Amino acid sequence: MTQLFTPFRLRDLTVQNRLVVSPMCQYSATDGLANEHHYVHLGRFALGGYGLVMVEATAVVPEGRITHGCLGLWTDAQVAPLARIVDYLHANGAKAGIQIGHAGRKGSSRLPWRGVGTVTPQDMAELGVTPWTTRAPSAIAESDAYAEPAEMTVAEIEALPAAFVAAARRALAAGFDIIEIHAAHGYLINEFLSPIANRRGDAYGGGRENRMRLALAVVERVREVWPAEKPISVRISSVDGHEHGWKIEDSVVLACELKARGVDLIDCSASGFAGSPLKPAPSYLVPLAGRIRQEAGIATMAVGLITTPEAAADAVDSGRADLVAMARQALNDPNFPHHARAALGDGEAWTHWPVQAGYAVKRLQDALMG
């Protein structure tokens, strides 16, 4: 039998199964506030049977948003709408997580369905939005589509962990079970980690130890305020994909350092910088999660085009990951866990549906079987 539907524990948190909804930006907030869209979007995954539902990348400061429509946790007013979502997830059997981060040089971006890059004059006219000056480790633009960022001063860098701490306190007030620090996908912390974006010559640039300094400082400070019984996850880009970029060997070292500072889970994604030659394919990142799990001795979460029940089960049963996260597949099938149970041979899968639906699903199955 697959381990996919067995409980998994991190500190005092136990999830009912190994299936997780990845943080997925909805670009639908105003002033960083969650609304009815977020409530329905996230709530459906609890009904669909996922063990853990992660709220999208949530900015620790206003200029840390990816777009004007991204969520935030920089003010107390943003707590209550998120708490309402957490309560609904809990009431329907799922645990609740939130990812906090800073977009860095990829901030002030266009809504993705309008195009790629920094907010344009057309966006300003049609949406009434105003771009802001982004911050990054070095004054290097992500690509020609993005504005050049301002290089952060040492004082700005040293002030950043406090913003993560304040956001973590608010996440705790909202009732989240697990917090994830976003250090992937070419956003600010990932920009510091990678030589692709970090060309500094001070204590935050140069060798790998210096480039890891900000990530480790953020984790240390968050761990101080995040309760000892609650786990911390860090999402990393396991590899940049670029020849002279961040590599899997770097990720193993980082994972060891994060573990030593109280991190419990590494969410193993990849890439995030323009021009990466990395080609997505089914389950293509699972081996990276396996290597980090084995060599760093820390729990991992596998991601990356895991779209079938068999692939999800294999990631866990092969020992390469403890949890399996999905984003686009979850959008495509919010009931994936229920369908996966049936596909993997659980003849009573209908009993795991919400009570309001399970009996009807059973009747549908009986009718189809004649």
Measured at the CA of 289, the angle between CA 65 and CA 335, to 5 degrees, comes to 70
User: Catalytic residue at 187?
Assistant: yes
Nearest by Cα to 200 from 181, 216, 221, 214: 214
User: Measured at the alpha carbon of residue 330, what is the angle toward residues 328 and 335, in degrees to the nearest 5?
Assistant: 155
**Tokens read off for 344:** 């993997």
Phi, psi of 83 (to 5 degrees): -60, -35
- Regarding beta strands 150-151 and 135-136, do their DSSP bridges make them parallel or antiparallel, or are they unpaired? parallel
Residue 217 Cα distances to 16, 55, 61, 246, angstroms:
32, 23, 17, 19
Catalytic residue among 27, 50, 146, 187: 187
Residue 155 burial (CB < 10 Å; 0-12/13-18/19+)? exposed
The residues assigned a catalytic role are: 187
